[in-house]
């Protein structure tokens, strides 16, 4: 965790040094929600296990869509054996285990599926408070998606946080802040910096 925190803070420090107001994409593009790319109907495959779609596919609810070829979902670790049985019954083939906890699969139609398994305290609320997308699938809500990305702290994750939070309204930002204060309080200052960087991209003070 210390390494991720240091990486996150180094990224933010560099971005703050280089960022200029209005230097990103046009605000009209940044505020768009395309949701053009369809994903496999995961609800048809997983019917008994509660899950939420996470990862790059989930970000398209909160910012312009970016290309991705796989699907990531999050489940509580207690539900892992049930989910594995459902995937095998649907003709999925296990590819291997994920270093972060979970497994990687290839579905019957060739779609790559990563299943993130966690028993952290925030996982149940994240699954229970899913946001239903235009395709009817359950997607992780913004506060918990930000939390996941703060925990990962890869460069793309931090960039996603900056853009998604900049586009969120005041009420949504307060929801994000509340979740981070509850489950990852040491990252509250970093969150504020990422929000500020996103606002700069939009050309806002």
- pLDDT tens digit sequence for 144-187: 999 999 998 888 899 899 989 998 999 999 999 999 999 999 99
Q: Is the pLDDT of residue 15 over 80?
A: no
The CATH architecture assigned to 33-140 reads: 2-Layer Sandwich (3.30)
Q: Give residue-wise pLDDT tens across range 56-92.
A: 888 888 887 666 668 899 999 999 999 999 999 999 9
Full-prediction pTM beyond 0.85?
no
CA end-to-end span of the chain:
32
Q: Where are the alpha helices (DSSP H) in the chain?
A: 2-18, 27-30, 42-45, 55-59, 80-89, 123-128, 142-152, 155-167, 170-183, 188-201
Q: In the chain, where are the structural domains located? A: 1-32+142-205, 33-140
169 versus 20: which is more confidently predicted?
169
- Write down how long the chain is: 205
Q: Give the lowest-confidence range in 45-54, 116-125, 177-186.
A: 45-54
Q: Longest Cα pair distance anywhere in the chain, in angstroms?
A: 53
Grade residue 204 by pLDDT with cuts at 50, 70 and 90: low
Cα torsion through 148, 153, 158, 164, rounded to 10: 0
Cα torsion through 68, 38, 131, 119, rounded to 10: -50
Alpha-carbon distances of 175 from 32, 179, 187, rounded to whole Å: 22, 6, 15
């Amino acid at each position: 965790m210390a390494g991720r925190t240091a990486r996150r803070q180094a990224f933010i420090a560099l971005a703050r040094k280089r960022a200029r107001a209005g230097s990103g994409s046009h605000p009209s593009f940044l505020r768009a929600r395309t949701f053009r790319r369809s994903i496999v109907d995961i609800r048809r495959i997983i019917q008994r296990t509660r899950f939420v779609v996470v990862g790059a596919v989930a970000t398209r609810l909160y910012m312009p869509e970016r290309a991705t070829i796989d699907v990531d979902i999050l489940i509580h670790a207690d539900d892992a054996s049930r989910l594995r049985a459902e995937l095998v019954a649907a003709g999925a083939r296990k590819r291997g285990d994920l270093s972060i906890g979970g497994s990687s699969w290839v579905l019957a139609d060739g779609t790559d599926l990563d299943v993130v398994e966690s028993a952290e305290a925030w996982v149940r609320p994240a699954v229970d408070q899913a946001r239903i997308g235009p395709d009817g699938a359950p997607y992780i809500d913004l506060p918990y998606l930000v939390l996941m990305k703060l925990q990962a702290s890869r460069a793309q994750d931090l960039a996603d946080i900056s853009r998604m939070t900049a586009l969120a309204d005041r009420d949504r930002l307060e929801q994000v802040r509340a979740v981070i204060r509850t489950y990852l309080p040491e990252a509250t200052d970093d969150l504020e910096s990422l929000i500020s960087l996103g606002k700069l991209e939009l050309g806002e003070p």
